[in-house]
A = this chain, B = another copy of it.
Amino acid sequence: MAVRAAVAGASGYAGGEVLRLLLGHPEVEIGAVTGHSSAGQRLGSLQPHLAPLAGRVVEATSAEALAGHDVVFLALPHGRSAAVAEQLGPDVLVVDCGADFRLRDAADWTAFYGSAHAGTWPYGLPELPGGRTALHGARRIAVPGCYPTAVSLALFPAYAAGIAEPEAVIVAASGTSGAGKALKPHLLGSEVMGSMSPYGVGGGHRHTPEMIQNLSAVAGERVGVSFTPTLAPMARGILATCSAKARPGVDAEAVRTAYEKALAEEPFVQLLPAGQWPSTAAVHGSNAAQIQVALDPAAHRIIAISAIDNLTKGTAGGAVQSMNIALGLPERTGLSAVGVAP
């Protein structure tokens, strides 16, 4: 019997990617697709790549439209998920692709988002220590941010093994789809093609406290994070270059061993062979994360680099992976670790 899934926020990039993955998921039947300003429009005009759904008309997001589904994916602007989730019964699996329920610390939430904290849901990054356990049977899931996914996968092995000092410096490049479909001048094709530029510099990006939360939990102590995001001339992908001082005495072999141990069993995380480096192209459209790590002997820093597709592993793929775990389905169902390259 198929799992019946609804997607709220179906006209955006996150919602579109959830639908793309669900179309290939053998256990899921797509029910309601809802939106706000897009309500009443044909999905085919909004998401022309989703051919099998082209004739669907977007409904207005409402409790009625979302009722009667086993799973509801929320791909809404920040601050909108709580009101929708409240109206859905406790047996419905609600998977929130937004930020509202990611942070445990209410003060962090208010400092970075400026509103009252809605609460904390089980966190949808199964690869973290204890991550899968937290998701078994869950009926509410907070999907991680795209940058925190990339950064946590790159650095948690180092902190789990205790080989890194608790101060990380992260510079990440993201494709423009990470900024959503909002009509902003700096996101125009004419502006982004051929250009790299930073934003949210100086610790202000809202994903920063989420990274700190994840890495600190693994390290067992507070890990400080300096995070600088940059916008790259590509539609998809995140390349996160993460580094931290190695603890005294840590050598290259210890680093390699820590990563092999942490990642050996992961179905979607690929620790690359020595000498090969991640690229966002290799994971395009897939739920895979490519990881490589090196020890800079002169600076005695661990450099860990991850490549993910921000819309897939960084959002919708992570959401479906967590849904699979919550529902007791095989974790890989409907998800591919093969990128669309070149």
Q: Quick check: is A250 within 8 A (CB to CB) of the other chain?
A: no
Partner of A305, one of B51, B198, B299: B198
Partner of A233, one of B193, B203, B301, B336: B193
Stretch from A2-10, A59-67, A283-291 forming part of the interface with B = A283-291
Partner of A296, one of B173, B192, B226, B230: B226
Residues 268-280 of chain A, each 1 if its beta carbon lies under 8 Å from chain B, else 0: 0010110011111
> Measured between alpha carbons, how far is A286 from B48 in the docked complex, in Å?
13
Q: Is A188 a contact partner of B198 (Cβ separation < 8 A)?
A: no
Stretch from A96-104, A134-142, A234-242, A323-331 forming part of the interface with B = A234-242
Copies per assembly: 4
In the assembled complex, 27 residue pairs joining A and B whose CB atoms fall closer than 8 Å, in A order, are A16-B341, A20-B338, A45-B276, A48-B341, A51-B339, A52-B337, A171-B241, A189-B192, A193-B342, A194-B234, A194-B280, A194-B281, A196-B232, A197-B239, A197-B277, A197-B278, A197-B279, A198-B239, A199-B277, A201-B277, A203-B298, A224-B298, A226-B303, A228-B305, A233-B234, A285-B285, A340-B340
Q: Quick check: is A107 within 8 A (CB to CB) of the other chain?
A: no
Query: Top 5 nearest A-B pairs by Cβ distance?
Result: A202-B294, A195-B281, A49-B339, A189-B192, A197-B279
Q: Is A297 a contact partner of B190 (Cβ separation < 8 A)?
A: no
Interface residues of A in 189-225 (CB under 8 A from B): 189-199, 201-203, 208, 224-225
Stretch from A83-91, A118-126, A178-186 forming part of the interface with B = A178-186
A313 shortest CB reach to chain B, Å: 12
